[in-house]
Amino acid sequence: MTEMILRDAMSKALREALDTDNRTFLMGEDIGAYGGPYAVTRGFLEDYGEDRIRDTPIAEAVFVGAGTGAAMIGMRPIVEVMTINFSLVAIDQIVNHAAKLSYMSDGQLSVPLIIRTVTGGGGQLGATHSQSFENWYASVPGLRVVVPATPQDALGLFRTCRKDNNPVIFAEHSLLYRVRGEVPDEYYEIPLGKARIARPGEDVTIVSYSGMVRVAEEAAEKLDELGISAEIIDLRTLSPLDLETVVESVKKTNRAVVVEETWKTGGFSGTIASNIQEAAFDDLDGPVLRINGPDVPAPYARNIEQAMIPSADWVVESVTYNFGL
């Protein structure tokens, strides 16, 4: 095992893609000469050249559309959208074209396109740069949505995405790039649609993904001090979604909490909660709790921003109050 930060795991994943498949190229804003907005592609332009590392204008609809077209004719493009907020400019290309073309052509066309993007708040970037839209994309048939929380998962999931012939939204949380973790030295892949039991427990199931996994882990440690054993499920992917692992855990603990960074209205936590309710109603000892950010734009002021993002204390309070533990 080698310890590395998530940023380096993603760099390794991209270099593997370029080294092993000459159909792969990278395209996006500031990925070349600048080295990437989050330094993931630092040195790539010098190592691979302009044909394979393509800086683009600030025109997301154009370069996501170009990536879709390239994928349709047999290339394996990896398009980087600087932040998931900017994907809204290209949402027609993503939702009405990339996601639909295989279905509408009866399988005659495929779109093996990976859209890498950065999600989440906490960096004091204001209301239009701190949003999480991966839950929106998870509602679109035809799209894979991948949300890694650890370096090991980021590398293993990306390797699997490279072999998938469907378009993928690969959302990396901005505050996870410096997170450290052990990564196996031998080659491995992690299948899409298989959740990870990040921590076993007996009293309550906490379901989360991406940046909220670390919040759930911190909450579990605090709950442990109170004599409450929390099991943490890291979904890893929102589409496909592994409900089986979630439901099995809830049937064991009899209590469920879903923690998600985005707004509660329209949040993916509602989808998870309703599925738990349908599949494990007789096993529940209380309501399925949903912990989301409030339905307001993200503020710039750090103290207010931190107050609106779900925290470990928020989770602990909800568990102890609502379940009487």
Distance CA 209, CA 203 (A): 20
Nearest to 143 by CA among 108, 106, 111: 111
Q: Is 97 a catalytic residue?
A: no
Residues pairing with 171 in the sheet: 117
Q: Which secondary structure element, helix H or strand E, spans residue 324, and what is its range? A: none
Distance CA 113, CA 135 (A): 19
In the numeric block, which tokens belong to residue 167? 């378009």
Q: Residue 230 is which amino acid? A: A
Residues pairing with 53 in the sheet: 26
In the numeric block, which tokens belong to residue 108? 């005659």
* 8 A C-beta contact, residue 181 and residue 3: yes
Nearest to 5 by CA among 180, 210, 213: 180
Count Cα neighbours of 49 within 13 Å in the Cβ-side half-sphere.
4
Catalytic member of 60, 217, 231, 261? 60
Catalytic member of 129, 134, 217, 231? 129
Distance CA 168, CA 99 (A): 9
Q: Which secondary structure element, helix H or strand E, spans residue 251, and what is its range? A: helix 243-253
The owner of tokens 């093996």 is 112
Q: Is 173 a catalytic residue?
A: no
The owner of tokens 């080698």 is 2
State the DSSP code for 299.
P
> Mind telling me the catalytic residues?
60, 129
